[in-house]
A and B are shown apart, each in its own frame.
Chain A
Amino acid sequence: KQEVTQIPAALSVPEGENLVLNCSFTDSAIYNLQWFRQDPGKGLTSLLLIQSSQREQTSGRLNASLDKSSGRSTLYIAASQPGDSATYLCAVRLYSGAGSYQLTFGKGTKLSVIP
């Protein structure tokens, strides 16, 4: 069974800092990995999706990397802003077999950017 772990569970940084969020997964036979943002009481907003054949994806100040063989992904946020404060969730989809149609989520990292 795929398990996804996100470290740290919470992170507080001053505005302007660059930061890295970590995600690890136990089954490396993944189809893709998706990073989401969730504001309190809201739904999930997709930030970046990395296919299993890719090593990284970039969108604005966000960069996500994938090392499938070691079961790890990182989300890098450059020049953090108070508006980046949210919970960031990592989710993986298996390549095939039972559960391959679903995403398995980590518990998220709650980020607070202090002005």
Chain B
Amino acid sequence: DTGVSQDPRHKITKRGQNVTFRCDPISEHNRLYWYRQTLGQGPEFLTYFQNEAQLEKSRLLSDRFSAERPKGSFSTLEIQRTEQGDSAMYLCASSLAPARMNTGELFFGEGSRLTVL
């Protein structure tokens, strides 16, 4: 198992374009999370899936953002009509659901850095 992988690692786009990021979680993990991190700040929660169901969304996730996790495996995060304020690192994490013998520890990918010109 190679951990959480994200693609692309870097994306430069012009304002108004659409971008899509992909996350492949650790294979046995049923939970998948998206976070956004800007310079000098801690990551901020965007959304979370348990299997294929999107169970929680932050108010940070505007209508221009959409996330999917078809079949409960990989996930995509799409940003439509990008704005300069969308420039950030988009981090994906996965975990098992917390249970008696499991802490629910989150494991993060390397992130996808978005620059909107």
Tell me the A residues contacting B by CB distance below 8 Å.
4, 31-32, 34, 36, 41-46, 49, 51, 89, 91, 93, 99, 101-108
Cβ contact within 8 Å between B42 and A108: yes
18 contacts between A and B (CB under 8 A): A31-B98, A32-B98, A34-B106, A42-B110, A42-B111, A43-B4, A43-B6, A46-B105, A46-B108, A51-B103, A99-B56, A101-B31, A101-B56, A102-B45, A102-B48, A102-B58, A106-B42, A107-B42
Which residue of the partner chain, among A43, A46, A107, contacts B91 with CB atoms under 8 Å?
Answer: A43
Q: How far is the CB of A91 from chain B (nearest CB, A)?
A: 7
Residues of A within 8 A of B103 (CB): 32, 49, 51
Q: How far is the CB of A29 from chain B (nearest CB, A)?
A: 15
Question: 3 closest pairs, A vs B, by CB?
Answer: A105-B42, A102-B45, A44-B108
Given the known interface contacts A49-B105, A108-B42, the answer about A41 and B113 at a Cβ–Cβ threshold of 8 Å is yes
A44 to chain B: closest residue by CB: B108
Q: How far is the CB of A108 from chain B (nearest CB, A)?
A: 6
Cβ contact within 8 Å between A34 and B45: no
Q: Is B62 at the interface (CB under 8 A from chain A)?
A: no
Which residue of the partner chain, among A43, A93, A106, contacts B109 with CB atoms under 8 Å?
Answer: A43
Q: How far is the CB of A20 from chain B (nearest CB, A)?
A: 19
Given the known interface contacts A34-B105, A34-B106, A42-B111, the answer about A4 and B42 at a Cβ–Cβ threshold of 8 Å is yes
